[in-house]
Every structure is written in C-alpha cells, then in structure tokens.
Chains A and B, each alone.
Chain A
Amino acid sequence: MTARRRTPAATVGLAAVVLAGTLYAGGAPVAGAPPLGQLLDPVSGVWALARSATPPRAADAAIPHLGAPVDVRFDDRGVPHVFANSVADASRAMGYIHARDRLFQMELQARAVAGTLSELVGDRALALDRQARAQGLADAARRGFEALPPTSTARVIAAAYADGVNAYLHGMRRADVPFEFRLLGARPQRWEPVYSAYLFARMGLTLAYSDGELRRAATEALVGAAATDALFPRDNPIQEPIQPNGQHAPRFDWRVIPPPSPAVDSARAHVALAEIEARARLIGALGGAIDLGPAGSAFRSDEPLALPPVRSHDDAAVGSNNWVVSPRRTAGGKALLAGDPHLSLTLPSVWYEAHLVVPDTLDVYGVTFIGTPLPPIGFNRDLAWTVTNTGADVADYFVETVDDAAHPTRYRLDGEWKPLRSRVEVIHGRGARVLATDTIYETHRGPMLRSGGAWVSRRWTVTDGYDATAPFLGAARAESAMGLMQAMAAFFAPAQNFAVADRGGHIAIRSTARFPVRSPTAPRGDVLIDGASSANDWRGWLPLADYPQAFDPPQGFLVSANQQPKDPRVDPRYFGWNWPSPWRAMRLDAVLRADSAVTPDKMRRMQVDPVSAQTALFMPFLVRAAREGAHRDSTLARVAATLEAWDGTYRGDNEQAVLYEAALDELASRTWDELRPAGSGREARISTPESVILLELMQDPDNAWWDDRSSPGVRERRDDIIRASLAAAWRSVTGRLGPPGPAWRWGASRHALVRHLLGIAPLSRANVPVTGGPGSVSPSFGDGNHGASWRMVVELGDQVRAWGTYPGGQSGNPASPRYADNLGKWSAGTLDSLRFPRRPDDLLPASTSSRLAFRAAP
C-alpha cells in the first residue's frame, strides 16, 4: 500500500460528525423514524424476518411446567394440530405458538385494554390510554381474575398459556423480534396470565359497549322524547326474531312516528355530540386497528393517531350471521351449521385457527383469540357451534349527584352521601415519562364519566369480572347441542347468540350471557336513570328459561343475524332497543324456508349472497316517485330507467346498485335533518335511525319528518324528498363516475379494507373485492373495514366435515407467505376444507408443513 499524507483536520471533523450522526440514527429514533441500526442489520434486523418467514420443517422447544411432551403438526394451511396429554399442556403449547406467530398483536391488544399503549407507541396513544383507563376494563378484569380460585379453569389455563408465551419470549432470538417492535424501537414485554382476561374484556368492549343512552338523551334534547322513542324503538317494526315466533314470514308492525318537537336544548345536544363522537372514536380504535398514521402514509412515530371515522348514515356496524339446519331439510340428511362473525378487519386477523387434541378430554378445532388458547367458535367430533352478537342492553347509565362537580369525593344515594371509590391512573409514555395522571371515580355501580356536563356512572356486565374460559372449555368438550347449551349457561359477557348443531341431528340457538333484571322503578335501560335511589339498581339476572332460545324447532332451521331475539308479542319484557335492521335475517329465513335440500355448498354461497331484503322494500317507493317526476325532469326519467333495470343484487358487475346506495344516503341525510344540532355539518347527526325506521316513515307520506328545515315556508312531503334525493344522487354519481357504464360497477366502488393493527399502509390490504351491499348477508359499508372475520360451514355426519377461511393468514410476519394468504379465497367467497386428524400420523407428510415438539424445561 502507498503511504499516505495526514488526513486534513476538516475531513476528520466531518467524519466524526457523520459518524456521530449515523451512530445516533442507528441506535435511536430520529424524527419519528425507527432506529436504523436495529432495523437494517441483516443478521438481526428486519431482513432476518425473511429468514423466519417460513418455520423450519422440524423444531423443538422447552416450556416450563409441561407435564408431558406435546407434538404439534402444522398442516398445509399453517394450522397447528396440537396433541397434548392435558388441557394445561395444550394451553402451554398454544401460548408458545401464538407468541411465535402473533407476538406483536398479543401485546398491542393487552396494552389497549390496560391503557399502556403510550409506553409502546409514545404520546400519540395518550387519548386512547386515558379512555381505556376511564372505561376501567383492565381494572375490572384484574379484580375478577384475582377473585377466582387459583384452581379455577380460567386461572389454570391462563397460567399455562402464559408459561408458553414466556417460554417463547425467553428463547426468542433478536432476529425473531416482530417487525412492528422494530419500527417502534421497542421490545416485547413479559406476558402475565391476567392478560387473557384482558382479551375477553376487549371483546366485551367491541361487542357490548353501548353509549346509546347518552346519544339518546342528546337526541331528546333536539327532538323530544316521543319522537326519540319512535326513532330508536324498543321493538323493531319488522319482526323476524331469532327465537321462532310461529310465523312463516316477517311481520310488519308499522307505527306512526311523532313529529319532532321544537329543539329543547340544541346547545346541549351540540356539546354532547362532540363528547359522544370523541369517545366513540376512541372506543372504536381500542377495539380494532389502532391507526398510527394517515392511511397510505409512511410510518412515523410522531404522527397523530388516525381515529376511525364516525359513521354518518350506515346502519349499525354489525353483520354477523349464523344458522343451523336440521337433517330433514338438508340434501345429505345431516345437520348443517354456518357462521360468519363480522368484526373490524385487521392484519393480522383477530382469529388464529387451531386444533387441540387431548385424549379422552378434548378434540376441538376452531378459531382462537390471540391471548387465549380455546376456540370460542369451532367444532369437535360431535357438534359445531358459532356465535353472533346479541346486542342486548347490558349497560345502564345512572345520573349521579356529587358533592363537587370538579373534584367529587361523595355521591348521593338514598338521601345520604356515600364515598366515591377513586383510582389514580398514571399514564406513562416511552422511557417511563409521566404523560398524565387521571383520577377515575366509581360509585357502587361502576366508573363515572362526564356527559353533557353531568356525572354519570355505568353499570355494565362486562366489568363485573367473570370466568370466560370455563364455558368455552365446556363447549369444546360437549357431546350434544344440549350439552353445549348447558356448558354455556355460565357464560357471562358479552351476550352472544350461540347456534349449535350436532351429529344426532339436533339444532339449537340461545342468546347467552347475564341479562339484567331491572327495577320496577327504572324498567328501561334505554334512558338515563336517576342514580340517587338504590331502588333503581339492577335486581338480579334473567333466569335461563327466559333467554331467547329454541331447540329443534318445527321449521327445521334457526337463524340469527343480530336481529331482535324475541318477538315482543311472545315476551314483552325489555331486552334492548334500537335493534339492527333485520335485512339479513329476512333474506336468510326466506332462502331457508324455500329450500328443503340444503347442502354445505349452498350454505357457503348464502354467506356471500348478493341479495338484500332491504331493496325490495325501498325500491317501489323510489321508482314510483321517480316515475311521477319523470315527465318534468329528465334526470328523474334516467333515474327511474336505471333503477327499473336493477335486479336488486350487489354483484361486482352490477351497474345500478351504486345509484340506489347514493339515493339512500341522500334520503337519510335529507330526512333526518332535524337530528343535526344547529351549526353542525351536513352529516353531523347526533344519531341516525336504522334504515328500517326510514322504511317505516315511508309508509307515512305526510309525516312532519319529511319537511326540509332548510326551506322554511315550504312543507315537503315524502315524494318531494325522495325525488330530491334521487336527483342529487344522480348528480353525485355521474359527477364522480361519469355517465352510466362500467365505471358504475359495484365492484369498482365497494371494497374491503383490511387494516394493519397499527394502520401501516404497506402492511394493510386495501381495495379487496367484495360481493354484497349494506343490507346483504355479508354487508359491506363505510370504508370497508368491517366484514366477515371468519366463515365456517360444518356438516355433522358420521365424520364431521368442515370448511372455513378468514381474511388474513396465520402469521403476523409480513414476509411470511401466510401473512395474508387466505385473503384471496375470502374475497372470492370460497372456503378451504379443514383438516381434522385424530392422531398426529393421520396428517400425511404431504399435508404437513412443519412440526414443533415441546418438552418440559429443566
């Protein structure tokens, strides 16, 4: 080598500065970017995730407290078949497997409930953490969990599961740290058994949270109590209940909707709207994807949270269905079950498929929640079961009188001051920095929150603390439909409609949870209750015999689709209110009534049926109004011609549905203008009645609700508003998509959005084609982020046969071929055949992708 001259000082100085900067950027986040060294290192950085994208063909691991070796075979769909000698060992194995495949999801979900997201993602999550702490879910789950005996099923299984998770964490190499942790510059935390209870609490939040009473109170301030009662009624005007009522068709109980009263207190409604919407957005984020940045943007840890949009005119964001058919109505003479629970669509999915086998004890296949080992939906050798959300009212709000509005210490009860229980919540950010200190107050009913300037406390079954594991273990081990129902009798929350079919040919359904019996002095749960009297408190629980339920009904099938469970003529007691429009139940019932030779493939096709029962009821009004105006207005003539050409389906190639949906949006916006507080935006309604209420109003062409407030001096009637809506819809659609043609295809305008848990665009999947519209069996609405989270069809013959899929994949590693491998099939509405081996060797080598053997840690 050639000898050199001394390096100039300036060069050395520059090199030193660049070195210092590069080292800093390598080890610490800069301007929101993750630490580059940990990220780019090809040995243990993100590149290493490519190496672990596919698990090794064979591997082994040690787990503490394992009673006997566990053999796990992963099939060609990446589904683990866990062969263990005890339920606890199977749980340990599942903990390890969940951690290996979904570690970041586990931690994110647990932190969302605990209100410690800020420690992971920084200050941006502060609002979410404050909301989570205020909801008190983690506090309640922990108290409930610790109140259980150490030998209870919940605690034994949770502890075993934690053994497995922590065994994985203990042996985890730097190269295996999930992608999201690397972006955040964070490390996974140890898993505590109580986190399993958090996960059930989170499902309670997702499925049974209700702020309806607060919304309703604000609505009353705008339009009066009578109108509010009619717009958000106790009983749905179309009765097609879960528990068959002996009718062979839906019953229409149309009522007259009272006119809106002059605004009682618009300002109060305005304030309440802001409070309610802010809270609803946070709750929505806690239950689904926690979006850390605007969609499509790069990941920057200093960007604000992108909270879910507030729904403006869609029906309630529900869509779950299940139905069972008795052997006498199936082509194969075997009972059939289908289920598709609808939730926020995330990547990774909320579900993880697994099959657990413990000889003579357990042989269950299903989808598990990340954070718990047992499937809440699945099948065994004798039966299959699945759930939809009941939506019963299991939360009441009590207006409390406190001694100090700003810093209360006591509340008034039965003429005495009672001390408030207070809990100080310290919320930390990254690096243990204190971000906020909140004091949460609780009455004997539950945590208090501010609403419209008042303190209200909430009594909610989800925060009662309960063992959610034992019922699911009982379900997994049940041998008959009746046995499953007995096992699920102890199920506490959130209320679910359990449908079950067994090999004996029995079918059953029951809305299951603890349902409060309300006081005679406060019989309604849909209004705010006076908290000053303990006489208004809940009095106990509804007896099991009074639950909505049916066993082997004469009609030979049972359907639930979130509709009102019981016909009020059968049981007039209060069970809930503002039930979702029953379009899906109507369609499913109609198809099943007409078919006495149902097959598994027909069940599959029904899950993505493109027909909406809603359209047949609305269309005559729309077409007639358009036709009547067509001679004066060429736009209406074109609208009428377009709608008349529609077959009422939401197939991807349909070119008329887009106009119908735009028309309904316009119609809702123009009709419910009285529900906008003065000074609010066009879509800022305090609440929006279900579309079935709009249909009810359609029956009354002169109702005062048709009047458009923005045209004083003119009294509009129904058809005036319909025509205005249709013309506006036409202008809107043609303005957006041009003249009718291929651009109007439904498939081009409606897609699913499967959002990554942190909202990271490259890890999300947008524009996923879907079949179906807002009222069809597989509803698609809003931004497409809600849909069938799992689809399953099971045939209960001598050999149980099952098919299923979900919109995602088993792995949380974005480099894995199993990150989103099921999405295409889900989008197409096809299902995989599910492998159900009795023994490890039943899974042939060609069907086995990898093996994992567990042994006891020394």
Chain B
Amino acid sequence: MTRQLALRTVLVAAAFVFATLVSWWAVPLAAAAFGAMTRRDRGGPVVTGVAAILAWAALLVWDAWQGPVGVMASTLGGVLRMRPVGVYGLTLAFPGLLAVCAAIVARAVADMLAQRPSPPAEVPAHTPATGAGLPSSSGDSA
C-alpha cells in the first residue's frame, strides 16, 4: 500500500513537473483533474499537494544544478523581507496550497456532478438511473 502510494505520488509529481513547464497556473488545473479522478480516495488531496511540493522541489534542484539558486534565494529573501529558507518554503508551499485546495474543490464538484440525476427526457426507459460510466454516489458514503 505504501509503495503504491509512493509510486502514485511520484507519478503525480511528474505530471506536475510537466504542468509547470506550461506555467504555474497549470498546477491547480492538474490538481483539479487529479482531485476529480481520485475523488473516492480519502487521501487524494494530500497526495496531490505533496506531489506538487515534490515537483517544485525537484525543479528547484534542477535549477540549483545549473545555477546559483542560493544567490537568488538571498536576493529574493531580501526583497520579500524574509530569510532565504523562507523563500524556499514559500516556493514549495505555494504549489502545495494550490494543489490541495484545487483537489478538494474539484473533488467536491465531481461529487456534486455525480450526485445529480440525469434529466429524464434524455434517459431511455430501459436504462438504469445510474449510468454505467458514472460512479455510484452511494459508494462515496459507504
């Protein structure tokens, strides 16, 4: 279970790396997608948040590999009136917060959509109320 969780976290983090290559605002979009897809999992948002933090940490390491990130942290820390470690913290907290919140909100929205009954006019008489492609709302509260 733990290994599976770790693997999943790494995979999600990799996805966040790619999302960040688009731009920072792609992080909450990706997190929302993960949140909706994993809406049945209890720890989904946390995993998403941790993965986002890991993704940006990995990117920072990549930056540090190629240049003086420490100088940048000191400079930005001076500008923002915080210690360099605070700048690193802020940099990691920012995607984490975005991802967790986006995942929670997306999951709730997905729940709502799943709960909503399909319009009768569009449901053939012989089709069950819960479509095969949609998860059962009862499963969420089991």
A33 nearest CB neighbor, chain B only = B80
Contact between chains at A48 and B41 (CB < 8 Å): no
Decide if B85 is an interface residue (CB 8 Å cutoff).
no
Q: How many residues of B sit at the interface, in one of the four size bands?
A: 35 or more
Q: B12 to chain A: closest CB distance in Å? A: 13
> Which residues of B have CB within 8 Å of A183?
79
Complex interface: chain A residues within 8 A of B38 (CB): 1
- Chain A residue contacts of B94, Cβ below 8 A: 22, 26, 36-37, 40
Q: Is the CB of A2 within 8 A of B42?
A: yes
Please determine whether B101 and A42 come into contact, CB atoms closer than 8 angstroms.
no
Stretch from A13-21, A379-387, A602-610, A632-640 at the B interface: A13-21
Instruction: Please determine whether A50 and B68 come into contact, CB atoms closer than 8 angstroms.
Output: yes
Give the chain B neighbours of A817 by CB distance below 8 A. Answer: 68
Contact B71 A27 (CB under 8 A): no
Interface of A toward B, CB cutoff 8 Å? 1-7, 11-12, 15-16, 18-19, 22-23, 26-27, 33, 36-54, 179, 183, 297-299, 760-763, 814-815, 817
Interface residues of B (CB under 8 A from A): 5, 20-21, 23-25, 28, 38, 40-44, 56, 59-60, 62-64, 66-69, 71-72, 74-81, 90-91, 94, 97-98, 100-102, 104-105, 107-108, 111, 139-142
- The one of B23, B67, B108 in contact with A52, judged by C-beta atoms closer than 8 angstroms, is B67
Given the known interface contacts A19-B98, A37-B94, the answer about A50 and B20 at a Cβ–Cβ threshold of 8 Å is: no
Name A2's contact: one of B21, B41, B100 (CB within 8 Å): B41
Would you list 28 pairs from A and B whose C-beta atoms are within 8 A, ordered by A residue? A1-B5, A2-B43, A3-B41, A5-B42, A6-B111, A6-B140, A7-B111, A11-B104, A15-B100, A19-B101, A22-B98, A22-B101, A23-B25, A26-B98, A40-B24, A41-B23, A43-B20, A44-B23, A45-B24, A48-B63, A49-B67, A50-B71, A51-B66, A51-B67, A298-B79, A298-B81, A760-B79, A814-B72
Cα–Cα, bound, A45→B60 (Å): 11
Residues of A contacting B43 in the complex (Cβ-Cβ under 8 angstroms): 1-2, 4
* A104, chain B: closest CB distance, angstroms: 14
Given contacts A298-B81, A299-B79, contact A26 B24 (CB under 8 A): yes
B residues near A53, Cβ cutoff 8 Å: 67-68, 71
- Chain B residue contacts of A36, Cβ below 8 A: 90, 94
Q: Are A43 and B21 in contact (CB under 8 A)?
A: yes
A50 to B61 Cα, complex, angstroms: 11
- Closest residue on chain B to residue A762 by CB atoms: B78
Q: Are B111 and A18 in contact (CB under 8 A)?
A: no
Task: Kindly state the separation between the CA atoms of A692 and B56 in the bound complex, as whole angstroms.
Answer: 63
Contact B105 A42 (CB under 8 A): no
In the complex the two chains form, is B75's CB within 8 Å of A814's CB?
yes
Contact A762 B75 (CB under 8 A): yes
CB distance from B14 to the nearest CB of A (A): 14
Among B25, B28, B67, the residue within 8 A (CB) of A815 is: B67
- Looking at the assembled complex, report how far the CB atom of B4 sits from the nearest CB atom of chain A, in whole angstroms: 8
What is the minimal beta-carbon distance from A122 to any residue of chain B, in angstroms? 16
Bound complex: CA A49 to CA B68 (Å): 9
Question: With A and B bound together, what is the CA distance between A814 and B74 in angstroms?
Answer: 10
Cβ contact within 8 Å between B140 and A4: yes
Contacts of B101 in A (CB 8 A): 15-16, 18-19, 22
Q: Which residues of B contact A763 (CB under 8 A)?
A: 75, 78-79
Taking CB as reference atom, which chain A residue is nearest B38?
A1
